[in-house]
Structure 1
Amino acid sequence: MKKPASRYILFIVFILLGMVTAWQLKSTLNARKATASSALNANILREQIAELRLEIDQLRTAIDENIALQNDIIKEYIALQNDDQLSREWEIIKLHTGLVGVEGAGITITLDDAPVREPGMPPSWFIIHDYDIRTILNELKTAGAQAIAINGERVVPMSEQICAGPTIIINDNRYPVPYIIEAIGEPDGLYEAMSTSNKVAELKEFNILVDIKKSDKIRISKFSGADKLDRYISGLEVVEK
């Protein structure tokens, strides 16, 4: 009687082992399938990102060509008017609105969130906010900065600096830390203004990194939103004096 009982036990054990093996095999196949699917999705996403980047580059090129064409038309019109004063006024307008790139001496300010944060204190105290950026920009303008850029984005009167989580949106473009502020102007005056700035001192108190350097040559590109200037003046009417 023992042998049949042993056979039944072995039979049941083999069935259980078969079920476990089948389950493990199925799990392995599903895992591999999921991995393959994830890899496929990742490849598709990479292709889509590459296509979007190409499309963005093409749009930027088209915008630059359109702006260049507009400038050529304006130059031709001014030349036909044979008016030196009008020509000078147009050059001044381009400088003030950031329609042309500029170059000169100045300072560079690098800002980064605090690497070490005090326990028990709000995390927001140790990161850079849009109002911190705006205060520094205003202090630079007061100190005589003639042109300013943040992470390569030209700052003009229409520019906005908006917090978006751990990033800041400048001219509709999003940037993470570090924030690199470039200002063209008299280097010694700008450096002195930033070195004695109450805002800079406040940031340093919360371990926020602030590095200020003078530079003999800073190049700032033209305003990236030049193609959207119409939206800033829509609804306005010229009032004759």
Structure 2
Amino acid sequence: MASRKSKGKSVILALVCIVLGFMLAFSYKLANKEQSSSEKLTDPQFARETELRKQLIRLKQDNRSLQKELEKKQSTVRTMEKDLSKEEQVFFNLAEDAEKYRMYLGKVKVAGKGIDVTLEDGAYDPKKENVNSYIVHDHHVFKVINELYVSGAQAIAINGQRINHNSYIICNGPVITVDGVPFPEPFKISAIGDPDVLASALSITGGIKDQLVNDNIIFTVEKKDQIQIGPIFGES
């Protein structure tokens, strides 16, 4: 009886060992196979991933380099834009100055607010033997013109004849010649500028108006919203 039990245990133990050995052998073989398969699959992938990582690193480096270069270019462009802006302002200022010089030289037609100053001979007075005591002379006209320029007049004309920097006025009895063009009285002096400033400058107490009135000259001032003065005759 004891011999049968001992024999049965040996058989079972042998079976267990056989199964365990088979499982160990199978697991080892499977592990080797998987390892071999894994090595065959991952080696090229690893190499590919490594190459891609290197390419990505190079691209990032190139990108940083390009960004730095772009920043330099943008800085250069901003500097050029500032320089061009300054040059543009300089050219604009030069154009403005050129236009002002053309205006002062009488090369272009001008228009704007201003005043009309009219000078007329005084009424005949038989008590005064000298007729020059009540007629308008060139020095009267010069006084008005000089005061207007000092007060900011941008352009001046006498009876429509534009005055410039080298204009001349000659008195020939009752006639005044402006740059060779004769004009009888009344003499209308038109000036473009601030009407209030120009009129006030002439009408100040003891000023030009009072001086001419004391010389028996009829002096009138009229403010205008629009005065147009053409270029000097014979010039563009």
TM-score range, shorter chain: 0.5 to 0.7
Question: What is the aligned counterpart of 2:107 among 96, 99, 102?
Answer: 99
Structure 2 counterpart of 1:191, from 196, 199, 203: 199
Q: For residue 135 of structure 2, what is the aligned residue in structure 1?
A: 127
Counterpart position of 1:224: 233
Deviation string 1:23-79 (CA, Å, 9 cap, x unpaired) is xxxxxxxxxxxxxxxxxxxxxxxxxxxxxxxxxxxxxxxxxxxxxxxxxxxxxxxxx
* Aligned equivalent of 1:207: 216
Letter in 2 for 1:226: E
Correspondence for 2:187: 179
- Using the alignment, how far apart are the partners of 2:139 and 2:158 within structure 1? 14
Task: Please give the alpha-carbon distance, in whole angstroms, between the structure 1 residues aligned to 2:99 and 2:197.
Answer: 26
Runs of 4+ in 1 over 6 A off after TM superposition: none
1:166 maps to which of 170, 174, 178 = 174
Report the 3-state secondary structure (helix = DSSP H, G, I; strand = E; otherwise coil) of the residue aligned with 1:134: helix
User: Structure 1: any 5+ residue segments left out of the alignment?
Assistant: 1-81, 228-241
Equivalent of residue 109 in structure 1, options 110, 117, 142? 117
C-alpha displacement at 1:119, in angstroms?
Answer: 0.8
- Quote the residue 2:45 is aligned against: none
Q: Which has the larger radius of gyration?
A: 2
Separation in structure 2 between the aligned mates of residue 199 and residue 87 of structure 1, nearest angstrom? 35
Deviation at 1:180, TM superposition (A): 0.2
**Aligned partners of 2:133 and 2:216 also within 8 Å:** no
Contact 1:117 1:207 in 2 (8 A): no
Aligned residue type for 2:210: A
Between the aligned partners of 1:185 and 1:88, the Cα distance in structure 2 is 17
**Contact 2:115–2:191 (8 Å) recurs in 1:** yes
Q: Matches of 2:95 and 2:152 in 1, distance apart?
A: 25
Aligned pair count reads 146
- 1:62-101 equivalence runs, <5 A: 84=91, 87-101=95-109
Q: CA deviation at 1:108?
A: 0.6
The residue number in structure 2 matching 1:141 is 149
Q: Which amino acid aligns with 1:120?
A: K
SS in 1 for 2:115: strand
CA distance in 2, matches of 1:161, 1:120: 26
- Aligned counterparts of 2:134 and 2:221: Cα–Cα separation in 1: 19
Q: Cα RMSD over matched residues?
A: 2.1
* 1: CA distance, partners of 2:129 / 2:122: 13
Match of 1:111, SS state, is strand
Residue 207 of structure 1 aligns to a residue in which SS?
coil
- 8 Å contact 1:107–1:214 — kept in the other structure? yes
Percent same amino acid at aligned positions?
A: 36
The answer (yes or no) to whether the contact 2:153–2:198 under 8 Å persists in 1 is yes
Residue 139 of structure 1: SS of its match in structure 2? helix
Tell me which residue corresponds to 1:16. Answer: none
Runs of 5+ unmatched residues, structure 2: 1-87
